[in-house]
Amino acid sequence: MIKTRLTERFGIQHPIICAPMALVTGGALTAAVSRAGGLGILGGGYAGVLGGEPDFEAELAQAKSGKFGVGFITWALERAPNMLAKALRYSPQCVFLSFGDPRPFAREIRDAGAALICQVQLLSQIDVALEAGAAAVVAQGAEAGGHGASRATFPFVPEAADYLKRHSPETLLLAAGGIADGRGLAAALMLGADGVVVGSRFWASAEALTPKCHTDMAISMTGDCTVRTSAYDALRGVPWPREFSFRMLKNKVTDEWARREDEAHQSYGALSEKYAQARVENDLDTLCVVVGEAVGLLTSRPSAQEIVTSMVTEAEGLLQKAAALDFT
């Protein structure tokens, strides 16, 4: 069993956290990851400000069967701060905030007895997380699915590890972006992380809310089939801060617009009606199929238990093999 500061401080068996993916990490997946010995974090997503999300309290009730956390898109939570109070009534172990300033919510989270986890996309964002009193910082690389920035996981994680060692050595570091198997887990630990936040691999799990047609499509793809752009959010009329782009599988819309970001922002909302209809019809030529570069490592839709077990077993074998190398 791999023990790290994350497993010890959060009282979990394995240093694996399920990313709080909007419209994906519902109560069933959250609970399944925690039962498997990791930590499931329920996707609070847009805090209900955009609509179309699952019943938040129903998902919370399902997640509460074991240890769990709740995650929000911070800029959206600013528009609906009551959603944090609603989540805290269910006593989550932690609250995971990303894409905005966590400081306005830090006291409320701490007062409720929950740990604050802050995801960052740039080294310069770590100081804000530390000012907020984050128990853990997540260094998210651009390989990740969904929203992110431009740093790559492999150099970002050790740089963040060095920074925390100098400025806040008690703060945990988690790695995210492109980690989908035991090789990624082992690599992240070697880079200085205390654990990993896994998105795409759990996105294609039996318990995820991901539509089957999305994972069926993804399983036949490689990492070459993804693209990162801010054009899609602009076209569908979702007010994401422009510094964050969006990774998904390529489709007809991205083929046309991915490199025309300025034009897309000038045409804000032009695709909103068509996109709403695409959601009803599951039109994958228009709809975002949100997954990271690790899509090329997905070959099936196993249970969360199988994913956690296989990741840990593979990582343990690799770390033991490395420890046995003779450098004399």
235-269 per-position pLDDT tens digit: 999 999 999 999 999 999 999 999 999 999 999 99
Residue spans of the domains in the chain: they are 5-210+301-319, 212-293
Q: Where are the beta strands (DSSP E) in 177-250?
A: 195-198, 226-229, 245-249
CB-CB neighbours of 302 under 10 Å: 15
CB-based burial label for 11 (10 Å; 0-12, 13-18, 19+): exposed
Among 30-34, 50-54, 81-85, 231-235, the least confident range: 50-54
Question: What is the number of other CB atoms lying within 10 angstroms of the CB of residue 159?
Answer: 15
Q: Which CATH class is domain 5-210+301-319?
A: alpha beta
Q: How confident is the model at residue 98 (pLDDT cuts 50, 70, 90)?
A: very high
User: Is residue 238 within 8 Å of residue 50, measured between CB atoms?
Assistant: yes
pLDDT of 46: 93
Q: Tell whether pTM > 0.85.
A: yes
Q: What is the pLDDT of residues 285-298, one digit of tens each?
A: 999 999 999 999 99
Mean pLDDT, to the nearest integer, of 59-69? 93
